[in-house]
A and B are shown apart, each in its own frame.
Chain A
Amino acid sequence: MNCEETTKLMDGYLDGELDAITNQAIEQHLLECHNCDQVYKTQRSLIRAIGSATPYYKAPSELRERIQSSLRKEIAEQSNGSGIPVDARPLIAKEHAESRSILFGTSWNWLALAAAIVFAAVIVWNVVPRLQRPAADQFLATQLIASHVRSLMANHLTDVASSDQHTVKPWLDAKLDFAPAVVDLSTDGFPLIGGRLDYLDNRPVAALIYGRRKHFINLFVWPAGSNTIGAANAMSHQGYQLLHWVDSDFNYWAVSDVNANDLQTFKNKFEEQTSHH
């Protein structure tokens, strides 16, 4: 091996990326050639210096959180996007616009138009709210599930971990502008694990965490507004069970991966206990 070849392969040699035979040839040359050996030693020191002197930019912790929440948002949008006919609406309206010219283009008169408007008004009045309701419900369900999953994933199940309702309740009361009922249901097989603050439906809400064997139930509570849906309402979404009910003061949403019967039992026991308080 000559000086030119050695210089050309120097970086590979220093990085340990050459094959054994070439390696040995270079080693041999460095023993014989003082100049190349000097170049080698200088380059080696420089490489070491670059490695230790250049700053390594570690990711700030906010970035991790940003990424995690953007991924969850992505999931929520994916599952939401498949269920809601948001995009379909304008499309349907367009089809009607086209069919209208066929229906009315030839022989329309003011009476027919008036009748059509009245009829449309009746339909809009009656049907549209019914169409929108599942959409809003589904959106909230997705939010609830995301919140439940996040609580189990990010090591942030509870802000206050206690099986004592007299510890959890004052803690939540101090943080929120409402005072949800907190009961321990361990005798019924649903031990209270703790409480957490969460944000749902555009407001801060209380989350009570109960255990069920190896599973967790997140019970989200916030004051019942005037526009809430009355009857108890069970649904299954993405493999999770959701159970919704409303009492005189509050909106309740229980979310869990336990089976629907367990969740129903949980609701009954919870209502029994809270009515005693």
Chain B
Amino acid sequence: MALLLNAEHAFGLEDFESTAKIVKFAIVPKKHEEPDQSPKEELMSFEAAMLPHLDAAHNLARWLLRNEQDAQDVVQEAYLRAFKSFGGFHGSNGRAWLLTIVRNTSYTLLKKNHAVDLTTTFDEEIHGSGRESVSPATILEHAEDAELVKQAMDELPAEFREILALRHQEGLSYKEIADIAQIPLGTVMSRLARARDKLKECLAARIGKEK
């Protein structure tokens, strides 16, 4: 190795006493290791508790972000966050706890991307049209059409997509939904009702267009 006598070397290590201090510093760190549960044990109990909810986590993120790549990134990030705060989790409902983190991580990304549809104020004129011309019976006929329902649901604002996925796909109770979406229990029912109404409207609009 050719030794470069540059300034950094010169004053980085010029007096022997300080160099000795570095050596001391390098030897000490064993003390800093966590004495309680080993990281391996913690990881194992974390994975046993949380990996079973991976599908639920992915499904929620996918509905919120409407994009597979973003959903995967968010879920990975959420698991990492969950692992870091796993020590503070003492509840029994691991799924709701994890989904809360997935939801928050998803919203962080949505906000960062300046998503315009975070809340429920969106254009009534476009989405409200066609309601009168399409009967509930016609809507029901089309409600089995998975692709149509998916498209209609993707049109909804995030908080509606979220509550529909949590209720209809995860089958969560109002209480669990209130915890995850961080809204009062009383709001869950009204928001769910509005989400279903909006979904009907979007379906009606699509059916109306197809005609």
Contacts and interface: CB of A to CB of B under 8 A. Distances in A.
Interface majority SS on A: helix, strand, loop or mixed? helix
A100 B83 CA distance: 45
Interface residues of A, number: 66
B54 interface: yes
Interface stretch (B18-26, B88-96, B111-119, B120-128): B18-26
Interface of A: 9-12, 15, 17, 42-43, 45-47, 49-60, 63-64, 66-68, 70-72, 74-75, 78-79, 82-85, 88-89, 92-93, 95-97, 99-100, 103, 116-117, 119-121, 123-125, 127-128, 131, 134-135, 149, 153, 238-239
Interface of B: 3, 5, 8-16, 18-19, 21-23, 25-26, 29-30, 32-33, 38-40, 43-44, 46-47, 51, 54-55, 57-59, 62-63, 71-72, 75-76, 79-80, 83-84, 136-137, 139-140, 143-146, 149-150, 153, 164-165, 167-169, 173-174, 189, 192-193, 196, 199-200
B33 A82 contact: yes
Nearest to A133: B26
A86 to B, nearest CB: 11
Nearest to A126: B19
A117 B5 contact: yes
A54 B43 contact: no
B10 A125 contact: no
B169 A54 contact: yes
A125 B3 contact: yes
Contacts of B168: 47, 50-51, 54
16 contacts: A15-B174, A45-B140, A55-B150, A57-B63, A63-B58, A67-B51, A71-B47, A74-B80, A74-B83, A74-B84, A79-B39, A82-B33, A92-B25, A96-B18, A117-B10, A120-B5
Contact of B54 (A43, A59, A123, A149): A59
